[in-house]
Amino acid sequence: MQGAAVLLFTRGGPIYGDTKMAGNTRGKLKEQFEGVHRNFEWCKSHLERSLVLIKEHRPHLSDSIKQLADAIATLDELAMNIYEKL
């Protein structure tokens, strides 16, 4: 299969292709993606508060804030998918 990724499973977890990631590197990467997830959670929290604050003053911006929250949720999902593959 030309150009296809090969997924192998070992005691240490999945191996993609012919390379195995050192446990220390894998742990550090997982830590970074946990940080990305926490940052996205903060973003969502701030946007929820912003919706409450802006509701009375500039309600036309609510849709934009909701769209931003949806985009952040999508990015968070992508980051968590990467995390699961590490």
Q: What total number of domains does the chain contain?
A: 1
Its pTM stands at 0.68
The pLDDT value given to residue 70 = 97
* Burial degree of 50 (CB within 10 A; 0-12, 13-18, 19+): middle
In-domain check, residue 17 = no
- The pLDDT tens digits for 11-35 are 555 555 545 667 788 899 999 999 9
List of E strands, 35-81: none
- The pLDDT tens digits for 22-68 are 778 889 999 999 999 999 999 999 999 999 999 889 989 999 999 99
In-domain check, residue 9 = no
In-domain check, residue 11 = no
For residue 16, the Cα-to-chain-centroid distance in whole angstroms is 20
Domain of residue 46, residue span = 22-85
